[in-house]
Amino acid sequence: MESGLVFNVQRFSLQDGPGVRSTVFMKGCPLACAWCHNPESQGHEPEIVRMRHRCMVCGLCSEQEIAAPVGRSRDMDDVEACPTGALQAIGQETDSVSLVKALLRDRIFYDESGGGVTFSGGEPLLQAPFVIEALGLLQAEGVHTALDTCGHARWQDVQAASARADLVLYDLKLMDEERHKKATGVSNALILQNLKTLSDCHSNIWIRVPIIPGINDDSANLEATADFLRPLRGIRQVDLLPYHATGEAKFARVGLSYTLHEIQPPSIEYLETLADLFRARGLNTTIGGRP
């Protein structure tokens, strides 16, 4: 039985695959995207963060702890003693059997809506043994499974997890390697190679492209992305996901700086013009990710 570090299970999700789903968010990510809407997922270890708007400076924490935006040295006694819930633990260890048992409580919603369970993050393949085992247990129960990955992982882990996933949600940000390094902190070479290989052995892949104005929404990048995807066999859908600032407030809580304050979400009309670049190449393309 494998154990993994989970920081959230979002029930009744409509954003991470078909139907009503439970999305399991795993801790840890090899990328550090400036627009990340789950920056609390980036660290590979449990963290304890302070919700400033809830803190009443009651003194149950030390002054040093109160001043710190991220309390990696805090212990669970501080969390449990906090009267307002201002201190929260990010990341809890669980085993695959216990997690699947909890997820199956919502089986009626999966069955009635054509939904299921999605593993996201962070990057779930950083905890590949746990995720692979949990996906297998869910499939054995007849639950629709999805893997949401950035693709920056060992091929053998991508292969094993995708074999137990009815759907793979695969993120693509930038095609130029140097621009990708600047925006995410890593090369895209492994990501692109894994996608090529995956498309030859998995028949249900949805590509997710975050549209970040001024970073990756130029026609050169998006045309290169569409040209790369066009010959791949397993691609069933391309989802353009508009930038939003939901993650901005979370950055300070985990001790990170948010640098995209000036960026505004793109309009639907603008997104439609971008979607046409993909549709012109025969790619089924949505805005926002619903079929």
Both structure tokens of 282 = 């025969």
Pairwise CA distance, residues 226 & 195, whole Å: 13
Residue in the structure block whose two tokens are 């905890």: 127
Q: Which amino acid is at 175?
A: M
Residue in the structure block whose two tokens are 């029930």: 11
Instruction: Classify each residue of 10-38 as buried b or exposed e, where b means 16 or more C-beta atoms within 10 Å of its C-beta.
Output: eeebebbbbbbbbbbbbbbbbbebbbbbb
Stretch 7-11: mean pLDDT, rounded? 95
Model pTM score: 0.90
Which pLDDT tens digit goes with each residue over 256-289? 889 998 899 999 999 999 999 999 999 999 998 7
Residue in the structure block whose two tokens are 């085992």: 133
Which pLDDT tens digit goes with each residue over 126-141? 999 999 999 999 999 9
- The chain-wide mean pLDDT, for the chain, equals 91
Both structure tokens of 268 = 């639907």
Stretch 233-243: mean pLDDT, rounded? 97
Stretch 172-198: mean pLDDT, rounded? 98
Find the range with the poorest average confidence among 43-57, 168-182, 208-222: 43-57
pLDDT at 86 over 90: no
CB atoms within 10 A of CB 86: 21
At residue 223, the pLDDT reads 98
Where exactly are the structural domains of the chain?
3-45+93-287, 47-89
pLDDT at 164 over 70: yes
Radius of gyration for the alpha carbons in the chain, expressed in angstroms and rounded = 20
At residue 75, the pLDDT reads 58
Pairwise CA distance, residues 288 & 270, whole Å: 13
Q: Which CATH class is domain 3-45+93-287?
A: alpha beta
At residue 66, the pLDDT reads 43
